[in-house]
Amino acid sequence: MLRLLANRFGAMLLTMLCLTLIVFFLVNLEPNLRKLSISQTNMRASDEMIERWLDYNGYREPFLERYAQWLGVMKKQPARDVDTGEPKPRFSFCDEPPVATYSGILQGNLGCSTMFRQPIHERLLPALQSTGILMFWVMATMVPSALVIGILAGMREGTNTDRTLSVVSITSTATPEYVSGVVFTVIFASWLGWLNGSAVTATTQGVSVYNFALPVMTMAIYGMGYIARMTRASMAEVMTSQYIRTARLKGLKFHTVVLRHALRNALIAPFTVIMLQFPWLLTGVVIVEVMFRYQGFGWVLVEAAGNNDIDMLLSCSIVSVLVVLSTQMISDIGYAYLNPRIRVR
Amino acid sequence: MVEPILEIKDLNISFFTRAGEIPAVMDFSCTVMPGETMGLVGESGCGKSTVSLGIMGDLGKNGRIMSGSIKFKGKDLTQISDEEYRHLRGNEIAMIYQEPMASLNPAMKIGRQLMEVPMLHEGKSQSEAADMVIEILGAVKLPDPQRVFNSYPHQLSGGQQQRVVIAMGLLSKPSLLLLDEPTTALDVTVEAGIVELVKELAENYGTSMIFVSHNLGLILDTCDRITVMYSGEAVETGSIKGVFDQMRHPYTKGLLNSIPLPGADKNQRPLVPIRGQLPLPHQRPRGCNFGPRCDHFKADICDAGDVHMSVVSEDDRHFSRCERINEIDWDAPPEEHIISEPVKSGDVVLDVKKLKKWYEVGGGSIFGGSRHLTVKANEDISLQAREAETVAIVGESGCGKSTLAKILLGLETSTAGDAVLSGQEIGRIAVNQRTSRTVASIQMIFQNPFDTLNPSQSVGGQIIRTLEKFKIGDNTEARTQRMLELLDLVKLPREFATRMPRQLSGGQKQRIGIARAFAGEPQVVVADEPVSALDVSVQAAVTELLMDIQRQSRTTMLFISHDMSVVRYLADRVVVMYLGHIVETGSTEQVFSPPYHPYTEALLSAVPIADTSVQKRRIVLEGDIPSALNPPKGCPFVTRCQRRDSVPNDRCNTEVPKQVKLGDGHYVKCHLAQDIFDKMEPVIVVNSKRSDQKAPSQPSA
Amino acid sequence: MEYVGFGQIVLGILTQLIPVWIAIFVVMGLSWTFHRKLSLYGRIYESPAGLIGLFIVFFWLFCALFADLISPFDPLEQFAILKNKGPGVIEPTTGLVQYLGGDKFGRDVFSRMISGSQIVMVIAPAATMFAFVVGISLGLPAGYYRGKIDSILSFLANMVLAFPVILLFYLLVTPGIRETALPQSMAGVFFIFPILFFGMLFYSRFRERPQKLMWQLAIVLIFGGWVYISLVFDADPFGVLSLEPNELNIFVAVVFASSPGVFRIVRGLTMDIATRDYVAAAQTRGEIPFYVMLWEILPNARGPLIVDACLRIGYTTILLGTLGYFGLGLVPESPDWGTTIKEGSRLLRLYYHPALPPAIALMSFVLGLNLLADALREQSLKD
């Protein structure tokens, strides 16, 4: 088991390295750099001014060097004032050390946000917290309901219960967040007026059913369908297996058979599925936060991308890659742990 | 008068599918007395499993008992409520079926699964139940019951799992135990152990049993009474001795003639297959179901109307469903055997010398760190095969026979040693590097007929493709012609060329597999258990076909099998393998009577034989086949050998035996002294008088 | 402004769609009559869920085909006086009705919804097909050879799957990207796969018959080469095939995001099928590995792959909607469903009629595909 862990961890690090390199490459493509410098100087800057700005701020140095600096394995040189030659911070809103130091990711320095005019972590951490709250409530609603629907449907495969629940699940896998968001807002905010169509107040005044229910519902619906379908399939497969027949032929009551024998085996697959939903939930978070104006991680990402805020984009990609890879790892470990055939030799 | 434990009268069970109602069991009657073991024999689709599921009341959504009664201890099971049924299941009636690994919950420890039974049905507390479980785990001869109690199913071997399942069935001391092909998924020597266990338990606990199987020999070994089923009906029933000595139904007789018994010989007394095919459930013939295939069929008598059971012997409760019981001459030999001359073998075609194959296991990940385990699949394999000879390679799972086959065919390459085919070295050359002539010279017939053909291509197309790869025929027309000729060779109609594999039966698919193997006029054909997955009545036909083709084309056949009866029937030479080593090799007579290596002895004893006139010495091996990842030091057979105490100084545990020559071409790998070999007795003795040779545990009927 | 009543809106829409109804009736009616002879497709007709799914899919397919015929208005035409007017409003000059109202620029919501289906119908299936070719070409060797090849390919697939889709789109599908060579080089790589795939398909089977093989390879190279040059370099000598640069962008991004999923499925299926005896039989008669992969393994994996294809077209549709929702790739006036939903949801609480129809349209199309996939899966299991 330990070997498995070490292997996966190594793969994860390598993936993170590759992915951040790719993002760094994409973010520093010529058109994106132009966009950045235009937004930082002014709309009518000439090409020459743009070039000077980029050069001054160190965007023309060799690619791999800049990547290594960002990582923190090469020392970052301080920017110098053009006239005096004294070290001067590049941006007024971020501190920078006056001497060459290691100040990259590995040292915990995420950089400077050109869009928000703040150090990254001042913007990002609270945003992550807000998103965390959202994700918590989404999981709390989505997972139990999906599991219950899946188990009920799989338990009684082929009956009307199963068919109805399956149709419900299939429908919900067909509603991405921008669709369900629109529909729910129309129904609950416009027609019925029960819920608030915007979640801005959630960040300012705190979370409540009134301002938070819509975003949570919107996100939960899409994932719920898929998890329910997978749970149903797993449950149906288990219920037709031989060892369930053995349990039945031992004379056990139906609900004992289900609860004690079937569930334990049927829930292994859904667990991994739930973990592997996280990459898609990240996309959902972005859509939902933009739609309901909730200033969490997704909203920050969209703003950063629209303005090519390089450091912020890089930090966001680290966060998302970290989330995706760790959930993958948890999924693998969980599967190995839950499945006695792998856990016990 | 003793009351029967189980009395089934005129039972009719049907299944309801999209195609309508399909009767699975018709007019079935059967009586089991207390303490009796009743055997239910038939081929696939005859309804024997359906009967046992019907008794348990577990027919599923689509099955229903249409009429008839099943009286268990006087109570009619077709009339009771679900709740009552639940109390009976696991308590008074228990069932054990085919795949032991699938029958156990993989996520629960053994102890916990078993404890459920007494806790539920007898209201025992946890500690009481635990004690009961450990006791019964010992009763089924499991070594170290405490360890088994705390294990998960996947940590046990197949044989051990099946013993656990049997233990689970016996926990609440049921009055009736149903066993549905409990040993089909197990190795032959392990099967022998289970069979012995079942017989002992029947004696000790006095449980009545119903033993369902397709193997007549197995039923002979274990049961007191027998019911033969064909296409949903019971066709003959009676005591074992009564039915086997006085067969009164053409199907039963036909079955017996198509099994290779010790008296059969491929040249003098070949197998006589039952012609025709099993009827599909919705296409049963009018009158007697067996009519179209029966040699004694007479129109207007046999197809007039439903045939009922007639009495053969009242005392013995021997009945048969045949209208012409008194008219047929039952002792006449089956219609003309085609007696052929034994084929003289030619020069050596395949010469394997000290072949070795070791596998590395684990690895392939980018980050290495793999455990380097070695599987020693083949060790020091030497054998010779001559033209037109049939060499049988015998062994159970893990003995390395499949690996040897793969090396010969080029799917793997040897680690060391030579394999020479007509002067060409092939052991080190993978199939992609061989010339098409070499590829065509050695071909294989695969085990599983249902998987041997590509489901997406037509049958004829696949043969033509094979011909193309062998560079036979200059153009498509020539190849199509040759393909049709091959279809004739395997006795299939030419229309089959355009059919898809799913339209063919198992036996027909295997014939195509044979046609494909012989397409390039090979010198050697490796047949990997070609008939073991087929029904008994089809096995004989396919085996005979194979023998015919081989005789005509003088091809060398390497016949891989674990079934000693078939091997004795058709092999000229025998090679016995165990855990990667060849433990004995020689001609069929040399190896079979008497067998010299202890493993050969045990193998011969383990195979069930459907002949009452045969007396068999019982040798049951303890333990299971060791894993190839961790073979024993010294002799590979040492962990189970029944004669290891006869060797002084504990040599079996420390030293790998050398080949000992016992005769011309007869070698054994064993430490036993020569004088012990000289005293070896045959395991199987055929008595010409069919008097009172019975297996010991036989209560009077 | 004058409006028509609710009943007339419904009637009007149904009448506008008459060509679609006729087409569905003809196709499904014919299929129903011959459904027993139509193997898997015919069996869909035996499942109620499958029928509903098929109906929905056909509906949108024919809407896309007949879009010009059934839309009362030009989807891009703006009518200042009809800004945000509700369903049933009558356009004064022509007297035609905007059945679902006008959006914030006065454009007909109904017509835009119909033309949105065209965009989906063109891009989603094509992108899915390409993703399949790429995924199959890589998944087969990974599952067959295992070992190092499998480890490397799986690592790459996992990497792409781990990449947050939204970030990928933001970085890849921007107007500025067109100035770099990136989209074209990615397209260059992806569009090679079909040529390689079909080339290898014919080569592995017919290499023993050189004459036939030459013809087949010639056709593959010429036809494939033409498509390649037209789409990647926008240099079609006949001027028939072309892709707008931003369409190419979208296409490449979507194929890139979908391929790893197909790769995984194909790899799993290959590992399973490679254990069958008929694969061993092919190997023992000397077939080259690519023959075994393409002619023995792949045809027998087609059941689950067809089901996945249906689901994946739905997934691609959702991806396209996401792109439109964030304004990436397509022009702001584009009537595709994602963009129209975004535009409509600005003032959602006041006017919901611009955003609701495209949302329901997208949902229904994906639902139809999912129902179809489910029915196919059930029917293929019953074989």
**pLDDT band (50, 70, 90) for residue B688:** low
∠ CA(C157), CA(C160), CA(C164), 5° rounding?
145
Judge: C284–B443 Cβ closer than 8 Å, yes or no.
yes
Per-residue pLDDT tens digits for B511-566: 999 999 999 899 999 999 998 888 888 888 898 899 889 888 999 999 998 888 88
User: Residue B691: its pLDDT value, please?
Assistant: 37
Query: Do the chains contact at A182 and C171, CB–CB below 8 Å?
Result: no
User: How high does pLDDT run on average in chain B?
Assistant: 85
Q: Give the nearest chain C residue to B513 (CA atoms).
A: C281
The reported pLDDT for the residue numbered C383 is 57
What is the per-residue pLDDT for A315? 85
- Residue B31 burial class via C-beta count within 10 angstroms: exposed 0-12, middle 13-18, buried 19 and up: middle
- C-alpha A37/C-alpha A47 separation (Å) is 10
Is residue A22 classed as helix, strand or coil in its secondary structure? Answer: helix
Instruction: Return the closest-CA partner of residue B424 out of B339, B373, B350, B331.
Output: B350
pLDDT in tens, B141-176: 888 899 999 999 988 888 889 999 999 888 888 889
Spatial distance between the Cα atoms of B519 and A343, rounded to a whole number of angstroms: 49
Which residue type, as a one-letter code, is found at position A26? Answer: L
Residue C349 distance to chain A (closest CA, Å): 5
Whether the pLDDT of residue B365 is over 70: the answer is: no
Q: Determine, for residues B366 and A11 on separate chains, whether the beta-carbon distance falls below 8 Å.
A: yes
Which residue reads 């700005």 in tokens? A53
Whole-number pLDDT of residue B377? 86
What percentage of chain C's residues is helix, strand, coil (to nearest 5)?
Answer: 75, 0, 25
Rounded to a whole number of angstroms, the distance from the CA of A87 to the nearest CA of chain C is 33
pLDDT per residue as tens digits for the range B88-105: 888 889 988 888 888 899
Instruction: Map residue B313 onto helix, strand or coil.
Output: strand
pLDDT confidence bin for C309, thresholds 50/70/90: very high
ipTM of the complex: 0.84
Is residue B366's pLDDT more than 70?
A: no
Measure CA of the first residue to CA of the last residue in chain A; give whole Å.
10
Quote the percentage of chain C above a pLDDT of 90. 39
* B271-275, C51-55, C86-90: range with highest mean pLDDT: C51-55
Rounded to an integer, what distance in angstroms lies between the CA atom of residue A245 and that of residue A257?
Answer: 9
What H or E segment, with its residue span, contains residue B198?
helix B188-205
* Interchain contact, A171 vs C367, CB within 8 Å: yes
Distances (CA, A) of C349 to A181, B596, C344: 12, 92, 10
- pLDDT per residue over B111-132, tens digit each? 999 998 888 888 888 999 999 9
pLDDT tens string B65-79: 999 999 998 888 888
**Gap between the Cα atoms of A105 and A76, Å rounded:** 12
Q: What is the pLDDT of residue B695?
A: 34
Comparing C179 with C314, the larger pLDDT belongs to: C314
Q: Comparing B353 with A189, which gets the higher pLDDT?
A: B353
- Compute how many other C-beta atoms are within 10 angstroms of the C-beta atom of residue B477: 9
B430-451 mean pLDDT: 90
Residues of chain A under the 50 pLDDT cut:
none
Interface of B with A (CB under 8 A): 56, 58, 61, 86-91, 94-95, 97, 99, 102-108, 116-117, 120-121, 152, 154-155, 165, 168, 365-367, 369
A134: helix, coil or strand?
helix
Q: In the predicted model, what is the mean pLDDT of residues B347-351?
A: 90
- Here the tokens at position B311 are 């009495």
Is the confidence at residue B456, as pLDDT, over 80?
Answer: yes
Identify the top-confidence range among A270-284, C255-269, C315-329.
Answer: C255-269
- Rounded Cα–Cα distance for residues C214 and C217 (Å): 5
- Mean pLDDT for C195-205 is 92
| Amino acid (1-letter code) at residue C315 | Y
| Helices within B490-533 (DSSP H only) | 506-517
For residue A254, give the H/E element and its range.
helix A254-256
Tell me what pLDDT residue B513 has: 93
C366 touches chain A (CB under 8 A): yes
CB contact under 8 A, A185 and C360: no
Determine the pLDDT at residue A82. 65
Give the model's pLDDT for residue A42.
66
- Do residues A213 and C358 lie in contact, with contact meaning Cβ atoms separated by under 8 Å? no
In chain A, residues with a C-beta closer than 8 Å to the C-beta of B88 are 251
**If contacts are CB pairs under 8 Å, which of residues 454-513 in chain B contact chain C?**
454-457, 466, 468-471, 502, 513
Query: Which helix (DSSP H) or strand (DSSP E) does residue B576 occupy?
Result: strand B573-578
Has residue B690 got a pLDDT over 50? no
pLDDT of C94 above 50: yes
Q: What pLDDT is stored for residue B325 in this prediction?
A: 81
Within 10 A of B552 (CB to CB), how many other CB atoms are there?
11
In this model, does residue B699 exceed pLDDT 80?
no
Q: For B456, which of C282, C288, C299 is closest by C-beta distance?
A: C299
- In order of A42, A89, A293, B240, the CA distances from A83 in angstroms are 22, 14, 44, 112
Q: pTM of this prediction?
A: 0.87
Q: What are the tens digits of pLDDT across the range C217-234? A: 999 999 888 888 888 777
Confidence of residue B364 (pLDDT cuts 50, 70, 90): very low
pLDDT band, residue B484 (cuts 50/70/90): very high
Window from B325-329, B343-347, C236-240, C374-378 with minimum mean pLDDT: C236-240
Both tokens of A269, joined, read 């697959």
| Position with higher pLDDT, B700 vs B409 | B409
Residues of A with Cβ-Cβ distance to B18 under 8 angstroms? none
Q: Do C174 and A32 touch (CB under 8 A)?
A: yes
- Report residue B484: phi and psi, to 5°: -65, -35
Report pLDDT digits (tens) over C276-305: 999 999 999 989 999 999 999 999 998 899
Beta strand pairing call for B581-587 and B666-669: antiparallel
Cβ distance of B451 and C286 shorter than 8 Å = no
**Region B278-298 average pLDDT:** 82
Name the pairing type of β-strands B390-394 and B573-578: parallel
